[in-house]
Amino acid sequence: MLNDTLDRVTDRIIARSEDTRRAYLDRMRAAAQDGPARAHLSCSGQAHAYAAAGPDQDALATRDAGNLGIVTAYNDMLSAHQPFEGFPGLIRDAARAVGGTAQVAGGVPAMCDGVTQGTAGMELSLFSRDVIAMASAVALSHNTFDAVVFLGVCDKIVPGLVIAAQAFGHIPAVFLPAGPMTSGLSNDEKAKVRQQFAAGEVGRDALMKAEMAAYHGPGTCTFYGTANTNQMLMEFMGLHLPGSSFVNPNTPLREALTREGAQRALSLSHLGNNYTPVCDVLDERAFANGIVGLHATGGSTNLLIHLVAMARAGGIVLDWHDFSDLAEVTPLLARVYPNGLADVNHFHAAGGLGYMIGELLGAGLLHPDVTTIAGQGLERYTQEPKLKDGALTWENGSGETLNDKILRPASDPFQPTGGLKRLTGSLGTAVTKISAVKPEHHVVEAPARVFHDQEAVKAAYHAGELNQDTVVVVRFQGPKANGMPELHSLTPVLANLQARGHKVALVTDGRMSGASGKVLSAIHVCPEAVDGGPIAKVADGDVLRVDATQGVLQIVTQGVLDRPVVEADLSGNEAGLGRELFATFRARVGSAETGASSL
C-alpha cells in the first residue's frame, strides 16, 4: 500500500502543476504528431546531414529504421567524462546491429566543481546547467533523430541534459552513465589530510599525494556527492537501464550496458510498437520517486535546486515543502561518504540501488506503476545486470543487504527520516543536510561572524578570530550576486573549529558541495542578500539560531530586521575567466527555491 504522505504530496504536486503540465503535454503531443523532419528535409538538407556518415549514408537516405542522436559531455580532462570517448563507436555499432543508425548530434560543456572550487570559475558552475540545456537544444534542433542518448555524469551536466530532454520530450531518451572510478585512498583519509593541511599540520606535498591517491583514474569520484546523486536519480526516475549507475568504466559489463542502452533507445521510437517518449517517463510520480531516493540515500543538497528546475522544464511545479514532507517519512537506508566511511563501489557491492528500490517499494515509499525506459513498473529496477557467456541479462538482486554498515532495510534504517531538512524563520528560508551531522550538532545558537566571501572566512580562521562558538554567515553568494558558487573549501576550516569543541554553523545564500556534511549548514538562504533578504541585515555579534530538529532559522537578537540592508560592491564578480559573458544569466536568474534558472 502506498504511503499516505507520498500519496498526498504527489497529489499536491499534480494539482499545483495542472495548468503548466497540461500545456507542456499539449506541446509534446503536437511535436510527436509532426515527427522528425528528416524525411521532409530538402535533398540538399539531407545531404548535409548525411555527408559525414560514412557507411551509414545509404541507410539514412533510403531506409527508415531509426536514427539515434548522441549528445555527449565527453572531454578528457575530467575523469568522470573521459570514458565517453569510446561510446559513440559502441553506440553506432549497436545501432547498425538492429538496422538503425547513430550520429553524434553535438557536445555540451562539462566542468568540474572540484577543479574550480574556491576560484572565480566556480561562479560559472550553476549557470553551466542552463548552457548545457541550451547546447543540447542546438544539437537536437536539426530534428533528424527518432531517439536520443545522453552521455553525462556530473553535477550540472545531468540536470542540464534532463532539462533539454524535457524540451524534446516527444522523443525517447536513454541516459548512459560512465560509472565510478575504482576505489583509491579512502574519502575519510583524504578528508583528514585536508583538515591537517588547513590546520597547518602537514605541507602541500602531503596534501597533493593524498588527493592524487584518491582521484587516480577514469570514472566518477567515489564519494556520494552531486555526481553520484545524479546517477541514483536517473535510475529511480527510470532513465537508466536497471542497475547501470555504478558499474565501473572500461569493463565488459559497462560496454554491454552501453550497447543495450543504444538499442533500447531505438526500440522506444515512434517507428516501433513501444513508443515511449520522455514526457511519459518524467511525470509527477517519477519526480516524487526521485525525491524519495534523494532522502533515502542522503544525497546532495544541490538536487534541491536541480530537481525543481528539471521538473519545471516539463511543466511540473515542485517546492521545498514537497522535499521536507517526504523527508519526514523516508528512512535513511545508506551510509556512503560523507554520510559514512564507504564509497559508492562499496555501496554497489552491498546491494546498491536495486536492493534499496526493492526495500522502498516494499515499504510503500515509491510509486510502483511508473513508465520507465525498461518498461512499465519500477519493480524492474530491483534487478541487476549480469554477463552470461557474453550475453547481457538481468537477474533478481539480493533480497538482503550484504553489509548492514553501508545499506540497511527499511525496517531497520540508519535513521527514521531523510537527510535533508527545510528551515524557516526570521532569517528566511533555507535547507540543510543532516545525514552526516552528529545529533549533538543539530542545533547551534551563537553569535554571528559575517563575511562577503569565503577567502575572508579563511583569513579570519588563520588569524585565530573564530576560536569560539559562532555562526559563520557568508552572504552575497546567491544566484543573482555571483552565480551561487559552492563554498566547499570552507569545510576543513569549519570542521576543525567544531573538532576543537566549539559550536559551529554556516549560514549562506550560496551552496555547499554534495560532499559536505559534518558541520550544520543552512544553505540556499532565500531571499538572497542582493535581493535585500534578512541575511543582508545581520551584523557581527547578532545571535542566530540554526535548529535542524525543529526546522528553524532564526535571528534571536532583537531589532535586526529594522536595520537597512547592507549593500556590497559586486563589481569584482562581473569580469574575468568568462564571467563577463554571464551577465545576462545573473540578471535573469530566479531564486534557489524556484530552481535558480535563467531559462
pLDDT at 514: 60
Q: Are 405 and 397 in contact (CB under 8 A)?
A: no
Task: State pLDDT tens for residues 342-373.
Answer: 999 999 999 999 999 999 999 999 999 999 99
Give me the CATH topology for the region 420-594: Glucose Oxidase; domain 1 (3.50.30)
Task: State pLDDT tens for residues 483-520.
Answer: 999 998 898 899 999 999 999 999 999 998 765 678 99
Task: State pLDDT tens for residues 373-430.
Answer: 999 999 999 999 999 998 999 999 888 999 999 999 999 999 999 878 899 999 999 9
Side chain identity at residue 111, one-letter code: M
Helical segments of 78-186, H only: 87-97, 113-116, 125-140, 157-167
Q: How many CA atoms lie within 13 A of 1 on its CB side?
A: 3
Q: Are 585 and 127 in contact (CB under 8 A)?
A: yes
pLDDT at 515: 56
SS3 265: helix
Q: Are 519 and 441 in contact (CB under 8 A)?
A: yes
Share of the chain above pLDDT 70, in %: 99
pLDDT at 363: 98
Neighbour-count burial of 23, counting CB atoms closer than 10 A to its CB (0-12 exposed, 13-18 middle, 19+ buried): exposed
Separation between Cα atoms, residue 382 and residue 45, nearest integer Å: 45
Q: What are the residue ranges spanned by the domains of the chain?
A: 4-182+217-396, 420-594
Residue 325 confidence class, pLDDT cut points 50, 70, 90 = very high
Q: Nearest Cα to 347, choosing from 407, 409, 413, 408?
A: 407
Neighbour-count burial of 62, counting CB atoms closer than 10 A to its CB (0-12 exposed, 13-18 middle, 19+ buried): exposed
Q: Provide the annotated binding site.
A: 154, 221
Overall average pLDDT of the 81-98 stretch: 97
pLDDT at 194: 86
Task: State pLDDT tens for residues 457-467.
Answer: 999 999 999 99
Q: Are 42 and 152 in contact (CB under 8 A)?
A: no
Task: State pLDDT tens for residues 124-161.
Answer: 999 999 999 999 999 999 999 999 999 999 999 999 99
Mean pLDDT computed over every residue of the chain? 94
Q: Provide the annotated binding site for [4Fe-4S] cluster.
A: 154, 221
Q: Are 48 and 83 in contact (CB under 8 A)?
A: no
pLDDT at 289: 98
C-alpha cell of residue 557: 537578537
Residues 6+ apart with CB under 8 A from 65: 59, 98, 99, 100, 101, 271
Per-residue buried b or exposed e for 539-566, using 16+ beta carbons within 10 Å of the residue's own CB: eeebebbbbbeebbbbbbeeebeeeeeb
Bigger pLDDT: 112 or 159? 159
Q: Nearest Cα to 301, choosing from 338, 261, 260?
A: 338
Cα R_g (the chain), whole angstroms: 24
Q: Which residues pair with 546 in a beta bridge?
A: 444, 553
To the nearest 10 degrees (0 to 180), the angle between helices 320-327 and 4-16 is: 170
Is the pTM for the entire model greater than 0.75? Answer: yes
Q: Count Cβ atoms below 10 Å from residue 134 Cβ, excluding itself.
A: 16
Q: Do β-strands 391-396 and 383-388 pair in parallel, antiparallel, or remain unpaired?
A: antiparallel
Task: State pLDDT tens for residues 172-204.
Answer: 999 999 999 999 888 788 888 988 988 889 999
Separation between Cα atoms, residue 103 and residue 56, nearest integer Å: 9
pLDDT at 134: 98
Separation between Cα atoms, residue 317 and residue 294, nearest integer Å: 18
SS3 490: helix
Task: State pLDDT tens for residues 331-345.
Answer: 999 999 888 889 999
Q: Nearest Cα to 456, choosing from 490, 427, 485?
A: 490
Q: Nearest Cα to 515, choosing from 191, 159, 41, 281?
A: 191
Q: What are phi and psi of 403, to 5 degrees?
A: -160, 100
pLDDT at 420: 84
pLDDT greater than 60 at residue 441: yes
Overall average pLDDT of the 17-23 stretch: 98
Question: Count H helices, E strands: the chain?
Answer: 22, 16
Q: Nearest Cα to 252, choosing from 88, 97, 387?
A: 387
Separation between Cα atoms, residue 340 and residue 344, nearest integer Å: 11
Side chain identity at residue 505, one-letter code: A
pLDDT at 35: 73
Separation between Cα atoms, residue 416 and residue 438, nearest integer Å: 15
Give the distance, in angstroms, between the CA of residue 197 and the centroid of all CA atoms in the same chain: 29
* Separation of first and last alpha carbons in the chain: 39
Q: Nearest Cα to 360, choosing from 284, 416, 288, 292?
A: 292
pLDDT at 230: 97
